Structure 1
Amino acid sequence: MARRDVESRYRGALLGRVWMFLSPLLMLLVYTFVFGHVLKSRWGSDQDTASFALALFSGLLLNGILGDCLSRAASVVHGHANYVKKLVFPLEVLPLSLLLSSLVNALFGYLILMMLMPLLGHPLTWGVLLLPFFILPFLLCVGGLSYVIAALGAYFRDVNQIVQFFLVLTLFLSPVLYPLTALPEDVRPYLALNPLTIPVEMIRSVLFGTPMPASMQVIAYFAASCLVALLGLGMFLRVKDGFADVL
């Protein structure tokens, strides 16, 4: 289902699967122009535009996974009504397929990022091999949230509107568009509650040598992600028998 979902995005397009590479590259160029040249944003006074663009892009790719999964999860049950009504089908696969589909698109983005880094003065290190381990707890968290939103979205159409507001909030209350050091120290621990904050900081630490989050924060995030994944799946399995009645 994830493969079909990825293919359906580009089916009929003139460039076809080329968009899997072209879309993240265009996004990188647009954000570089807006934030790097127009707004002249920087992580530090000595950082050049190219370095800022790469650091920004690394966080936006994670935000893309979160936004794509949660925004589509709100309507995923209604979008597959035939599976709910007429087939003996494991409905818990639906949110999972959204996550895998979003991950595939993000992987192409990270591939482009790692191709550009050496060209722009940021040589890759062996630390990039740790990226899958740093992304894993983020995927668990997003998967759990997707199950919760999919379950609620089947019963309440208003969930989609709430999710859109939540996604805007998570983006601007995370270190995707700015560094944590730009905030007062007493505020920074609260941003760790954002599902984007810890994984964005870990990935930038591996790729660009920025400070790694505190070990206790990393452990707490991993434990919380596992808990969210289990609770989300448990909630979905508990209420899925009623989906046919509301569709």
Structure 2
Amino acid sequence: MQGVLRGLWGYRGFILGSVKREFQSKYRNSLLGAAWTVLNPLSMIVVYTVIFAQVMHMRLPGVSNSFAYSIHLCAGVLTWNLFAEITSRAQNTFIENANLLKKLSFPRLCLPVIVVANALVNFVIVFGLFTIFLLITGNFPGLPYLAVIPVLVLLVLFAIGLGITLGVLNVFFRDVGQFFNIALSFWFWLTPIVYSIGILPPRVQTLIRFNPMTLVIEAFQVILVQKLWPNWFSLWPVVVLAILLCLVGFNLFRKHSGEMMDEL
């Protein structure tokens, strides 16, 4: 593991340069440029807010704050988008960069690191603006806001562990990527993002809590909506799962990296 970290550190210039080039190329020849980073999640939030809050008159149980549902929605959508971007891109990163892998010699794990770095750049921009919104409307959670950092680290570990595992499998079995894209759509609606888990029947709530993303999204919502510290003990299943996925993904990559080059 130390050798891997030293290798990644030695290629930090390559990683940072790749992140910068991708960010610039993403918005090249675009009139609005990086504004699309904000407009895409914003449009989704507006649509869901109109449909669920205005049309269906959905409210959060026991919360009278007029901004509560919007904050609940933003906390869920923004963090889900980070998870979805990391996992979706990580599962395809080895296939998409096949030519680069064959032409250049560099630590292959640089590619997942680049995926995470790009996703975090986009997330920091959007979440920074969301934080400004919280400050302006008087809904900033105060000290519990610091809890966002460890929960975010947990989310990234879970996402990259799952992403690398899928990425290696996807090289050998291309159906894995197609299946996961479909599963991700169902996964979104099985996570309490646009609705509150409190409106569900007790039996369904129990089933929904087996979803690891439910625990992570709920932690963000407790911090940002209720302005409280999350229940750290409730996150232990996600911690265990994230560590296991990282170990499985790393071992799969280490054992099959040579075979991957032949498949690519």
CA displacement at 1:54 relative to structure 2: 1.6
Q: Does 1:14 align with 2:14?
A: no
Structure 1: state its 5+ residue gaps: none
Rounded Cα–Cα distance in structure 1 between residues aligned with 2:73 and 2:251 = 35
Aligned residue pairs: how many? Answer: 247
- Between the aligned partners of 1:210 and 1:197, the Cα distance in structure 2 is 18
Range with bigger deviation, 104-113 or 52-61: 104-113
| 8 Å CA contact retained: 2:19, 2:117 | yes
Say if 2:91 and 2:164, in contact at 8 Å, map to a contact too: no
Residues 129-187 of structure 1 show CA distances to partners (whole Å, capped at 9, x for unaligned) of 22111111111000101101111111222122211122112211111122221223344
Change (3 A) 1:20 1:214: closer
1:244 and 2:245 are equivalent in the alignment: no
Contact 1:31 1:53 in 2 (8 A): no
Q: Could you say what secondary structure the match of 2:243 adopts?
A: helix
Unaligned 5+ residue runs, structure 2?
A: 1-17
Tell whether 2:66 aligns with 1:53: no
Aligned to 1:116: 133
Q: How does 1:15-94 map to 2 (within 5 A)?
A: 15-44=32-61, 47=64, 50-94=67-111
Matches for 1:205-220 after TM superposition, within 5 Å? 205-209=222-226, 214-220=231-237
177-186 or 205-214, larger mean C-alpha shift? 205-214
Q: 1:3 aligns with which of 15, 20, 25?
A: 20
**1:138–1:195: 8 Å Cα contact kept in structure 2?**
no
- Cα separation, 1, equivalents of 2:132 and 2:93: 34
With over 3 angstroms needed to count, the CA separation of the structure-2 counterparts of 1:192 and 1:211, relative to structure 1, is farther
Deviations 1:13-58 (A, max 9, x none): 1122233344333333233223222333222275466321121111
1:177 aligns with 2:194: yes
Equivalent residues of 1:37, 1:49 under 8 A apart: no
| SS in structure 2 of the partner of residue 44 of structure 1 | coil
Which shifted more, 141-150 or 106-115?
A: 106-115
Q: 1:132 to 1:123 in 2, by over 3 A?
A: closer
| Cα RMSD after superposing both structures | 2.3
**What's the TM-score, normalizing by structure 2?**
0.84
Distance 1:6 1:227 in 2: 31
In structure 2, the CA distance between the partners of 1:52 and 1:211, relative to structure 1 (3 Å rule), is same
> If the length of structure 1 is used for normalisation, what is the TM-score?
0.89
Counterpart mapping for 1:124-163 below 5 A? 124-163=141-180
Describe the superposition over 1:179-201 as per-residue Cα deviations: whole angstroms up to 9, x where unpaired: 22122334434333323111211
Mapped to 1, the partners of 2:153 and 2:91 lie a distance apart of 22
Query: In 2, distance between residues paired with 1:211 and 1:118?
Result: 16
Tell me the amino acid that sits aligned with residue 31 of structure 2: L
Pick closer, same or farther for the CA change 1:213–1:193 going to 2, 3 Å. Answer: farther
